[in-house]
Amino acid sequence: MKDQLLELEKRGNDEISAINDPSDLEPFRIKYLGKKGALTSLMKSLGKLSREERPEAGKLANQIKVNLSRRFQEVKTSIEAGKSGGATSVDVTLPGRVPLYGHLHPITQVIKEVCLIFSRMGFRVVKGPNVELDYYNFEALNLPKDHPARDMQDTFYISENVVLRTHTSPIQVRVMETRQPPVSVIAPGKVYRRDSDVSHTPMFHQVEGLLVDRDVSFGELKGTLTRFIHQMFGSDTRLRFRPSFFPFTEPSAEVDIQCVMCGGKGCRTCSRTGWLEILGSGMVDPEVYGFVDYDPDVYSGFAFGMGIERIAMLKYGIDDIQLFFKNDMRFLSQF
Ligand code: PHE
């Protein structure tokens, strides 16, 4: 009896495992688990066994019924869910599952691209601290404590002499303090200002550039930045140098590119001017050389600083800076 039961279980298991077609399910159930099925008839014959044999065989029969029923339910559920049934068949025509790839944040991508363009021109990438001394952020950049130009940048103060850097320009001072000319560096990083609206966030990114050597002229500043803009925005992009003021450069210029939205005709993005400001620049002010022990009669150089979010917004036509920091996958996955 025991052998018969085990044999039945084995056959049942083999059969259910081969089922793929839902129409085979019910015949299987009737054949094995139904009222007139194989298992039921074996159970009925338990009565013919001796008193000693009966309990053990009964227990086994019940166990087999539970096992087969459970296996039957599993296969049924899996077939109904559209998967292959008991049989482990593979549909090789199904498209493969594409893994979810991550990628760099668009701001990181733009920083890398800017740094790559300048590296190819011989600039070396350097970094500086986000928490900065007032001395490097302001004072050595020709912005003494009571200077009105400090109001241009709404500063987060850590203490009286320590700030969250408001720009990457303090890196200029740190580089010149530790190295003699010729120097040419590019310095990306986070900067902080108390400001928040569609075009400002309290933390954003800048890339600073500095080149100092003998006989560096404004022409080299123009040539370097023109080349950068043509590589970044395309070689037909028009640009202009507009006189400006920074305490640490003299003369200073802001660089505008022709509006990428309207092509220079004038629209909302460029406030109808046809031009978009993308960076500040100038010849390093001789006053700054005084703080770092460079001889202004021997050396000259230029510096520039650009906002990365702004460049990314222009490059990709994004009108709200806050999108960069919301971490919404619908936005991020487009880059
Ligand atoms: N640090 C200036 C700013 O944040 C930009 C700048 C850098 C201007 C270097 C001139 C030279 O606005």
> Higher model confidence: residue 135 or residue 58?
135
pLDDT value of position 72: 86
Q: Which helix (H) or strand (E) holds 171?
A: helix 170-178
Atom index in ligand 1 nearest the CA of residue 168 equals 1
Nearest in space to 168 (alpha carbons), one of 206, 215, 121: 206
* CB of 172 closer than 6 angstroms to any ligand 1 atom: no
* CB of 304 closer than 6 angstroms to any ligand 1 atom: yes
305 C-alpha to center of ligand 1: Å? 4
Q: How confident is the model at residue 236 (pLDDT cuts 50, 70, 90)?
A: very high
Atom index in ligand 1 nearest the CA of residue 279 equals 5
* Structural domains in the chain, sorted by start: 2-88 (no CATH), 106-332 (3.30.930.10)
Residues facing residue 256 across a β-bridge: 240, 277
pLDDT > 70: percent of the chain? 97
pLDDT value of position 83: 63
| Average per-residue pLDDT for the chain | 91
Q: Is 0.85 topped by the overall pTM?
A: no
DSSP 258-324: E-TTTTTS--TTTTTSSEEEEEEEEEEPHHHHHHHT--TTTEEEEEEEEEHHHHHHHHHT---GGGG
* 317-335 per-position pLDDT tens digit: 888 899 999 999 999 999 9
CA torsion, ordered 293, 295, 300, 304, to nearest 10 deg: 10
The protein residue with its alpha carbon nearest to ligand 1, atom 12, reads 280
Is residue 46's pLDDT more than 80? yes
Strand duo 275-284 + 299-307: pairing = antiparallel
Positive or negative, the Cα torsion across 216, 217, 219, 221? positive
Is residue 124's pLDDT more than 70? yes
68 C-alpha to center of ligand 1: Å? 77
Query: Which amino acid, 125?
Result: V
CA torsion, ordered 15, 21, 23, 24, to nearest 10 deg: -10
Question: Contact 204/321 with Cβ under 8 angstroms?
Answer: yes
Question: Contact 259/276 with Cβ under 8 angstroms?
Answer: yes
* 159-203 per-position pLDDT tens digit: 999 999 999 999 999 999 999 999 999 999 999 999 888 778 999
Weakest-pLDDT range from 48-57, 137-146, 246-255: 48-57
* CB of 282 closer than 6 angstroms to any ligand 1 atom: yes
* CB of 280 closer than 6 angstroms to any ligand 1 atom: yes
Best residue among 212, 246, 252 to mutate for probing ligand 1, ranked by most atoms within 8 Å of CB: 246
* CB of 324 closer than 6 angstroms to any ligand 1 atom: no
